[in-house]
């Protein structure tokens, strides 16, 4: 007798709720500790800040129960605790800088968190199926490249600390590269899912590598030139590395050809070397990285050196929240929030943050493995890898692994564009993970139907 049982996987929404509450408790406690350390008392509005954050992320949780029951249960709590920790750190720096309510960056960051979370909810509500996004492949390409190149436009482009990756409209400033990251991942996914067959055609074999045909090199050369353009004209190694790395990684996932990675790495190395020999501002960045304590670099290397002093003073366990001097590092709330965390929470705290990022990326890649359609796989992989690359570029820059760039740590750092983009990324990953874990419609039977099947 054949017995057909429908295995309905658990939605894990209650796990998510428990983790979310824990994330909120962590953030609210950190906020209270900062108040105790800096002002000697638990801030009176701690329940307001904790409650506000709780209300926002619980709204996402409710939307997930309604629209994406099978979504991954770990991503939202990770985004919550990182966003919360960032808010606490920014508030802590506000206190050190004696900012009042009207100049408070934490308040603005909280508003941006609300906007970002609202965008995430909108994505979850309006994008019922991620495959629908494939229709916008070329729209995304145009919009993505436009956003990427927007800072080069005279008039609205702004150069901030040597990197021209900002635009300004009146008092509002925006890093369009953050949104471009999502659009280009969308475009790469849509393009590669159709072009993968031709790109993975066997070409000549040289030194054990399957080399592609010459005419198939077109797309990677375009991406390479675009990323070089970013490096040279926006003088930001981070943004450049992020886009080219994203493209090469997605190309590799799509074609399963190692040769693309080798070609990509060689092209990038050659391009970076060329930019270094030709452009003074690139040389400055590299000089700061290689010889930070050289007297010639005193002025330019000031910020990273202060950041390292902060990290060193934090040591293994940190000074404790509110008890270090992260305010001595210029732009500690944005570029160097990682240094502020390392100083006050120590190497242990920094490791915890890195592990959180790692788990978020791993959940994204697992989603890519689990989802059944090629577009979804590529999009999830691209978004997840973009987070990994960005964390690598930011933390690597702060800890002197690579030259410093103008990118900021996802969810932690002060900045509206970054926060909104990252919440959208998490919403997209949640959406894809829902379809990855959702049992196929045909098998989802009600218990009555199951009974009938069994009876038959």
Give whichever of 108 and 325 is closer to another protein, judged by the CB atom. Answer: 325
Give whichever of 64 and 387 is closer to another protein, judged by the CB atom. Answer: 387
The distance of closest approach from Cβ of residue 279 to another protein in the complex, given in angstroms and rounded to an integer, is 26
Question: SS3 helix, strand, coil % of the chain, rounded to 5?
Answer: 70, 5, 25
Q: How far apart are CA 444 and CA 442, in angstroms?
A: 6
The distance of closest approach from Cβ of residue 98 to another protein in the complex, given in angstroms and rounded to an integer, is 7
**Is residue 407 within 8 Å of 242, Cβ to Cβ?**
yes
Q: How far apart are CA 285 and CA 237, in angstroms?
A: 9
The distance of closest approach from Cβ of residue 301 to another protein in the complex, given in angstroms and rounded to an integer, is 12
Give whichever of 92 and 431 is closer to another protein, judged by the CB atom. Answer: 92
Q: What DSSP element (H or E) covers 33?
A: helix 13-39
Give whichever of 206 and 316 is closer to another protein, judged by the CB atom. Answer: 316
User: What is the DSSP secondary-structure string of 371-430?
Assistant: --SHHHHHHHHHHHHHHHHHHHHHHHHHTTSS---S---TTTSS-HHHHHHHHHHHHHHH
The distance of closest approach from Cβ of residue 256 to another protein in the complex, given in angstroms and rounded to an integer, is 5
The distance of closest approach from Cβ of residue 354 to another protein in the complex, given in angstroms and rounded to an integer, is 6
Tokens of 192: 């590669």
β-strand partners of 118: none
Q: How far apart are CA 86 and CA 202, in angstroms?
A: 48
Binding site for another protein (CB under 8 A): 38-40, 96, 98, 249, 252-254, 256, 293, 308-316, 322-323, 325, 328, 342, 346-347, 350-351, 354, 357-358, 361-362, 365, 368-369, 374, 377-378, 381, 385, 388-389, 391-392, 395-396, 399-401
Give whichever of 173 and 300 is closer to another protein, judged by the CB atom. Answer: 300
The distance of closest approach from Cβ of residue 143 to another protein in the complex, given in angstroms and rounded to an integer, is 26
Q: Which residues contact 133 (CB under 8 A, 6 or more apart)?
A: 127, 140, 186, 190, 375, 379
Give whichever of 43 and 52 is closer to another protein, judged by the CB atom. Answer: 43
């Amino acid at each position: 007798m054949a017995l057909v049982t429908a295995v309905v996987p658990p939605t894990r929404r209650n796990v998510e709720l428990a983790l979310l509450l824990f994330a909120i408790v962590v953030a609210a406690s950190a906020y209270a500790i900062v108040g105790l350390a800096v002002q000697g008392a638990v801030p009176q509005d701690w329940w307001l800040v904790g409650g506000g954050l709780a209300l926002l992320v619980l709204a996402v949780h409710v939307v997930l129960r309604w629209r994406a029951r099978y979504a991954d249960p770990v991503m939202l709590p990770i985004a919550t605790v990182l966003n919360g920790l960032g808010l606490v750190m920014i508030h802590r720096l506000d206190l050190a800088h004696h900012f009042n309510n009207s100049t408070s960056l934490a308040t603005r960051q909280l508003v941006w968190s609300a906007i970002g979370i609202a965008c995430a909810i909108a994505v979850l509500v309006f994008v019922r199926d991620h495959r629908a996004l494939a229709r916008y492949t070329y729209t995304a390409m145009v919009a993505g490249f436009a956003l990427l190149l927007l800072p080069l436009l005279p008039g609205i482009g702004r150069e901030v600390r040597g990197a021209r990756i900002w635009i300004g409209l009146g008092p509002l400033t925006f890093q369009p590269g953050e949104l471009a990251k999502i659009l280009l991942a969308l475009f790469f996914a849509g393009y590669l899912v159709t072009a993968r067959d031709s790109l993975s055609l066997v070409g000549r074999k040289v030194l054990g590598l399957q080399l592609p045909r010459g005419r198939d090199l077109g797309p990677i050369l375009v991406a390479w030139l675009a990323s070089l353009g970013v490096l040279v004209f926006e003088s930001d190694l981070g943004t450049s590395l992020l886009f080219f790395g994203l493209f090469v990684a997605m190309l590799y996932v799509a074609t399963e050809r190692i040769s693309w990675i080798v070609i990509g790495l060689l092209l990038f190395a050659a391009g970076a070397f060329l930019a270094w020999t030709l452009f003074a501002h690139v040389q400055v960045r590299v000089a700061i990285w290689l010889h930070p304590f050289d007297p010639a670099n005193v002025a330019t290397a000031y910020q990273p050196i202060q950041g390292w002093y902060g990290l060193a003073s934090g040591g293994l366990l940190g000074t404790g929240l509110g008890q270090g001097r992260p305010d001595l590092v210029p732009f500690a709330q944005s570029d160097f929030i990682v240094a502020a965390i390392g100083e006050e929470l120590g190497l242990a705290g920094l490791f915890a943050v890195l592990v959180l990022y790692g788990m978020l990326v791993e959940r994204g890649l697992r989603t890519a493995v689990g989802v059944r359609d090629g577009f979804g796989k590529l999009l999830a992989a691209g978004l997840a890898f973009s987070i990994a690359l960005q964390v690598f570029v930011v933390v690597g820059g702060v800890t002197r692994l690579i030259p410093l760039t103008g990118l900021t740590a996802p969810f932690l750092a002060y900045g509206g564009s970054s926060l909104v983009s990252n919440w959208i990324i998490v919403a997209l990953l949640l959406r894809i993970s829902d379809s990855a874990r959702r049992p196929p419609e045909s098998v989802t039977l009600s218990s009555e139907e199951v009974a009938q099947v069994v009876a038959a």
